[in-house]
């Protein structure tokens, strides 16, 4: 399966900054620019519509859409509208949402309620792909990815989606991290987690896209940087930090090697990247694609 790379855009910095990031990502060779769905930030779909008018080819996606905030049929209409505005460049990733204090009384209060909303949204989108209803119709049948950290979310993705996005991996450590820091999955647990996804998918396992959001730390001293990260993420050793699927540390060539290794070990082929400029990240993308092409082409047989 081919690698795909997205740039994680901010919906807090304002629409002009997002549009600029989308333009730079397109010029740098990214496949997509994505935005989260967070309280207090720009609406992701309206913001992406602005980015669509300033770009030509780059995909535009949610990473991820908080389905707890949306009526399933209404969000199908909004996504179909963005698809038409962008000329068919929509990319869809859905999650059940995190119950932040500011969302109290807005999203379903229970985990069961949020999961049921996610299920209903998946069903509404699949219906809208097949025939217009309240939605005006999609330009094409788009890939649908589901993010989550629970076993039932794995089953939902295995049965009804085109891929899965790693959010968290159980057991999630109970730790208070500094603002802006996300829990990093333990590598062995991540392997077991994705193995369950593939077991649920059965014959579909080889068709599923596996993706993750990833922080990229460019440095000439990966070992020292991993020690610094482990001092914050105390539940992981420096070696576990360097192998966790949600962080990449090192020089561009070292990081390209990590991405290739994680495809072999975890099946990861879709990365939404943050932590460096689009131009800096482009060097990594170029190295990965060149190595992947060499590996697949190989020596040609004699005529």
In a domain? residue 106: yes
In a domain? residue 128: yes
Which pLDDT score, from 0 to 100, does residue 140 have? Answer: 86
Q: What is the CATH number of the domain that holds 61?
A: 3.20.20.30
Rounded to whole angstroms, the Cα distance separating 140 from 163 reads: 17
In a domain? residue 83: yes
Beta partners for 93?
A: 145
In a domain? residue 303: no
* Domain, as residue range, for 273: 4-293
With tokens 């969000």, the residue in question is 75
Q: Is the pLDDT of residue 301 over 50?
A: no
What's the domain count of the chain?
1
Side-chain-side CA neighbours of 150 within 13 Å: the count stands at 12
Read off the pLDDT band of 303 (50, 70, 90).
Answer: very low
Over range 249-271, report the average pLDDT.
Answer: 98
In a domain? residue 116: yes
User: Residue 248: which H helix or E strand, with range?
Assistant: strand 247-250
- For the ranges 20-34, 48-62, 79-93, 131-145, the lowest mean pLDDT is seen at 131-145
CA atoms 183, 186, 189, 195: torsion sign? positive
Q: Which of 252, 243, 238 lies closest to 281, judged by CA?
A: 252
Rounded to whole angstroms, the Cα distance separating 213 from 155 reads: 21
Mean pLDDT in the chain?
94
Which pLDDT score, from 0 to 100, does residue 302 have? Answer: 40
In a domain? residue 299: no
Q: Which of 293, 276, 244, 226 lies closest to 30, judged by CA?
A: 276
Q: Is the pLDDT of residue 63 over 90?
A: yes
Read off the pLDDT band of 220 (50, 70, 90).
Answer: very high
Cβ proximity of 51 and 60 under 8 Å: yes
Identify the DSSP state of 277.
-
Q: Is the pLDDT of residue 86 over 80?
A: yes
Cis peptide bond prior to 64, omega within 30° of 0 = yes
Over range 221-246, report the average pLDDT.
Answer: 98
Q: Is the pLDDT of residue 163 over 90?
A: yes
Side-chain-side CA neighbours of 14 within 13 Å: the count stands at 3
Read off the pLDDT band of 296 (50, 70, 90).
Answer: low
Rounded to whole angstroms, the Cα distance separating 212 from 271 reads: 5
Q: Is the pLDDT of residue 192 over 70?
A: yes
Which pLDDT score, from 0 to 100, does residue 298 have? Answer: 53
Percent over 70 (pLDDT), the chain: 97
In a domain? residue 298: no
Cβ proximity of 133 and 73 under 8 Å: yes
In a domain? residue 62: yes
């Amino acid at each position: 399966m081919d690698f795909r790379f997205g740039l994680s855009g901010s919906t807090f910095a304002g629409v002009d900054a997002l549009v600029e990031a989308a333009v730079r990502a397109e010029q740098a060779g990214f496949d997509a620019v994505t935005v989260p769905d967070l309280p207090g930030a720009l609406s992701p779909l309206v913001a992406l519509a602005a980015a669509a008018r300033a770009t030509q080819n780059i995909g535009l996606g949610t990473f991820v859409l908080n389905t707890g905030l949306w009526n399933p049929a209404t969000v199908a209409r909004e996504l179909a509208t963005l698809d038409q505005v962008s000329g068919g460049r929509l990319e869809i990733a859905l999650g059940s949402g995190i119950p932040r204090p500011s969302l109290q009384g807005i999203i379903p209060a229970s985990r069961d309620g949020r999961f049921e909303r996610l299920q209903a949204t998946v069903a509404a989108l699949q219906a809208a792909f097949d025939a217009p209803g309240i939605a005006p119709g999609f330009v094409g049948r788009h890939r649908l990815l589901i993010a989550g950290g629970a076993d039932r979310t794995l089953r939902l993705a295995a049965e009804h989606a085109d891929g899965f996005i790693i959010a968290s991996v159980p057991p999630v450590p109970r730790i208070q991290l500094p603002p802006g820091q996300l829990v990093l999955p333990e590598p062995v647990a991540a392997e077991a987690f994705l193995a369950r996804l593939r077991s649920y998918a059965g014959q579909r396992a080889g068709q599923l896209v596996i993706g993750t959001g990833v922080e990229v730390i460019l440095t000439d001293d990966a070992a020292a940087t991993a020690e610094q990260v482990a001092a914050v993420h105390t539940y992981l050793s420096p070696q576990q930090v360097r192998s966790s699927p949600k962080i990449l540390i090192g020089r561009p060539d070292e990081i390209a090697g990590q991405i290739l290794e994680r495809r072999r070990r975890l099946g990861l082929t879709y990365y939404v990247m943050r932590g460096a400029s689009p131009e800096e990240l482009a060097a990594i993308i170029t190295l990965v694609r060149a190595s992947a092409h060499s590996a697949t082409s190989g020596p040609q047989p004699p005529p």
